Amino acid sequence: MAKIRPVGDRVVVKPAPKEEVTKSGIVIPDTAKEKPQEGTVVAVGGGRLLDNGEHAAIDVHEGDRVLFAKYGGTEFKLDGEEYLVLKENDILAIIG
Amino acid sequence: MAKIRPVGDRVVVKPAPKEEVTKSGIVIPDTAKEKPQEGTVVAVGGGRLLDNGEHAAIDVHEGDRVLFAKYGGTEFKLDGEEYLVLKENDILAIIG
Amino acid sequence: MAKIRPVGDRVVVKPAPKEEVTKSGIVIPDTAKEKPQEGTVVAVGGGRLLDNGEHAAIDVHEGDRVLFAKYGGTEFKLDGEEYLVLKENDILAIIG
Amino acid sequence: MAKIRPVGDRVVVKPAPKEEVTKSGIVIPDTAKEKPQEGTVVAVGGGRLLDNGEHAAIDVHEGDRVLFAKYGGTEFKLDGEEYLVLKENDILAIIG
Amino acid sequence: MAKIRPVGDRVVVKPAPKEEVTKSGIVIPDTAKEKPQEGTVVAVGGGRLLDNGEHAAIDVHEGDRVLFAKYGGTEFKLDGEEYLVLKENDILAIIG
Amino acid sequence: MAKIRPVGDRVVVKPAPKEEVTKSGIVIPDTAKEKPQEGTVVAVGGGRLLDNGEHAAIDVHEGDRVLFAKYGGTEFKLDGEEYLVLKENDILAIIG
Amino acid sequence: MAKIRPVGDRVVVKPAPKEEVTKSGIVIPDTAKEKPQEGTVVAVGGGRLLDNGEHAAIDVHEGDRVLFAKYGGTEFKLDGEEYLVLKENDILAIIG
């Protein structure tokens, strides 16, 4: 894909198709009000700026399969594919 | 279960069935508006990022029986079982 | 009682029966909109996590008779008795 | 009075009777929407917990005649007398 | 006047009569929604408590003619005169 | 003009007449909901108080032509001229 | 263009025409509620003021093609061209 570098504590995620039965066996319940979503991390920012002027390393990495809070991201299309830019803090867990 | 690693100060909890009379003898009163819930910690994140760039250790551990604020978590299913991802701060107390 | 360990800056309090005329002679006025309540501390957490990664000691101790803000806690039952989990900050004063 | 020790940055104040013409000559205007009130400090907490784990000394002392923001406190009765628990920050000024 | 010592980062100001044409030539426009007001500082607190436990010096001094945000203060009467207790942060500028 | 010293991180700005075609060629679009405005800095405060007790230098200087967020300031008249007191943070950019 | 220097952690961006099919192939979906927008950075401020009094370097640079949150900026015209002043934090990612 065209290169994209998230800024600060942001990550770019390619969301998994919603009908997909994931390899990890996670199925998001239909009735949950705040549904988390699965996806794969495709790019990671330089990390949150700390008060001492350094950047904190981000705990997720390119290729990680993640569960994320759906409400938090911003959607965009790149080369015809949908992606989301999320704050690291919207990543709930790494799967697998 | 499929491995799941919570990010930052999050923990994954397997909620106890609601009708269960717990071993610890805790019964949540029906009339309470904000009902806490019992569960068992199944995974723990690396801890909240401190301003000095280190991660604070999380005070609950895998296997702990906990009382948690129900409103705070995000539900998901893994291998047919229901779990919650919670912030450590939503864990009220460790039982037993 | 079954052992319960509050997490972080939380304390567990056994509320005094409301009709009780306390030993300390405190009577909560009926007309107050925000009524404080009396109780006895039965368990104390490890303290709030400071930015340097240490835990601040909690200023109330097991056995302290306390006045607390009623709105702040979460109620639960343990071995048939009612308790509250409160943040240390919801404890207004120690009596006696 | 029965001993009462406020927690953290709280102080206990005995409010002056409202009709009282205070010694300091302060009269609270009737029409003010946010009326401050006079009282006498009867107990002082250990001070706000600082990020370095120490407690900041409280700037008001037992016996101080103070002007305080009325909205901020919690009322209670002790030995038949009315008192308020206030945050130090709700004390506006020391009189006299 | 009776002595009054503001607490923390507060200052006591004697507001200028509103019809007054001030010496500095400042006239507050009638139509402004958020009208600043002029006054004279009569007492200054010990300053805001910093995280290191010290108090920050207040930048205005007794006798300073100041422009302040009217909404922020608390009015009171002392020896028949009207005063305001303000946070230092509600002082916009020193005139003259 | 009569001397005016803004307190802390505030600056005093003389707004440019709105019909003016500025030298820098900036024209504020009529339809913008949040219109920035141009003006000239006439006085600068001592800077925001840092947690270490020092004051941070303000990045704009007397005489700077600036673009500022209109909503943030407080208007006043001095010697018949209109001015605004703004927080440094309401200054968007320096022009020219 | 006339020189413009953003203050603090702000950047000035020249937004890409909305109908443009960008070189990077990004197309913003029409139905997204919170549409990000593409643009080119034309000026960068000195960076956010840290608590130690230093300025944090801004992670985007003049000439960077960026994806930004549209809601965050303030629009203005300079020499007949439209620009936005944004906080660095409103820049989501760098493209290409």
Q: Which CATH number fits domain A10-18+35-95: 3.40.50.10540, 2.30.33.40, 1.10.10.10, 3.40.50.2300?
A: 2.30.33.40
Average pLDDT over residues G65-82: 86
Chains D and E touch (3+ CB pairs under 8 A): yes
Q: Which of G34, B73, G61, B74 is nearest to A86 (CA)?
A: G34
Per-residue pLDDT tens over the stretch D16-25 = 986 544 556 6
* Largest separation between any pair of C-alpha atoms in chain G: 45
| Two structure tokens written together for C14 | 């056994």
Per-residue pLDDT tens over the stretch A38-86 = 999 999 999 988 777 788 889 899 999 999 987 778 888 888 889 999 9
Contact E96 F3 (CB under 8 A): yes
DSSP labels for B20-66? Answer: ---TT-EE--TT-SS-EEEEEEEEE-S-PBPTTS-BPPPS--TT-EE
| Two structure tokens written together for E90 | 């509600």
Per-residue pLDDT tens over the stretch F51-75 = 777 888 898 999 999 999 877 788 8
pLDDT reading at A2 higher than 60? yes
Contact B5 A56 (CB under 8 A): no
Burial F11-43 (b: 16+ CB within 10 A, else e): bbbebbeeeeebebebebeeeeeebbbbbebbb
The pLDDT of residue A29 is 52
The pLDDT of residue G33 is 43
Amino acid at B11: V
| Cβ pair B38, B95 in contact under 8 A | yes
- Whether B74 and chain C come into contact, CB under 8 Å, resolves to no
Average pLDDT over residues F17-38: 59
Site of tokens 């290191």 = E52
| Two structure tokens written together for D91 | 């004390």
User: Torsion angle of alpha carbons E57, E62, E68, E71, nearest 10°?
Assistant: 90
Q: Which of G5, G2, G83 is nearest to G44 (CA)?
A: G5
Q: Quick one: G10-17+35-95 is in which CATH superfamily?
A: GroES chaperonin (2.30.33.40)
pLDDT reading at C5 higher than 50? yes
G-chain residue closest to A73, CA distance:
G34
Beta strands in D1-96, from DSSP E residues, in sequence order: 4-6, 10-15, 26-27, 36-44, 65-69, 74-78, 81-87, 91-95
pLDDT tens for the 96 residues of chain E, in order: 568 999 999 999 999 986 544 556 665 554 444 567 899 999 999 998 877 778 888 989 999 999 998 777 888 888 888 999 999 989 999 998
* The length of chain F, given as a count of residues: 96
Contact F7 E94 (CB under 8 A): yes
Contact E93 F2 (CB under 8 A): no
Provide the residue ranges of all domains of chain C, joining segments of one domain with +: 10-18+34-95
What's the rounded Cα separation, in Å, for the pair E6 and E90? 14
- Lowest-pLDDT range, B4-18, B64-78, C12-26, D33-47? C12-26
| Cβ pair B54, B28 in contact under 8 A | no
Which residues does chain C have within 8 Å of residue B50's beta carbon, measured at their own beta carbons?
51-53
In sequence order, the 6+-apart residues with CB closer than 8 A to the CB of E4 are D24, D67, D93, D94, D95, E12, E42, E43, E78, E83
What is the band of G2 on the pLDDT scale with cuts at 50, 70, 90?
Answer: low
Contact C53 B51 (CB under 8 A): no
pLDDT reading at C31 higher than 50? no
With the C-alpha atoms ordered E62, E68, E72, E74, is the resulting torsion angle positive or negative?
positive
Which of the pair, A19 or E6, is modelled with greater confidence? E6
Contact G93 A12 (CB under 8 A): yes
Average pLDDT over residues B54-71: 89
Q: What is the CATH number of domain C10-18+34-95?
A: 2.30.33.40
The ipTM is: 0.77
What's the rounded Cα separation, in Å, for the pair F80 and F71? 22
Which residues does chain E have within 8 Å of residue D48's beta carbon, measured at their own beta carbons?
49
Average pLDDT over residues F71-84: 85
What's the rounded Cα separation, in Å, for the pair A10 and F61? 35
Contact C93 D85 (CB under 8 A): yes
User: Which candidate from A48, A54, A91 shows the least CB-CB separation from B7?
Assistant: A91
Which of the pair, B76 or A27, is modelled with greater confidence? B76
Which residues does chain A have within 8 Å of residue G22's beta carbon, measured at their own beta carbons?
none
What's the rounded Cα separation, in Å, for the pair G12 and A16? 35
In sequence order, the 6+-apart residues with CB closer than 8 A to the CB of F1 are F42, F78, F79, F81
Which of the pair, D50 or F25, is modelled with greater confidence? D50
What's the rounded Cα separation, in Å, for the pair B28 and B37? 7
Which residues does chain D have within 8 Å of residue E49's beta carbon, measured at their own beta carbons?
48, 56
Q: Which CATH number fits domain B10-17+36-95: 3.40.50.300, 2.40.40.20, 2.40.110.10, 2.30.33.40?
A: 2.30.33.40
- Whether C60 and chain B come into contact, CB under 8 Å, resolves to no
Contact B50 C52 (CB under 8 A): yes
pLDDT reading at F2 higher than 80? no
pLDDT reading at B94 higher than 80? yes
The SS3 call for residue A23 is: coil
- Whether G32 and chain F come into contact, CB under 8 Å, resolves to no
Average pLDDT over residues B53-66: 90
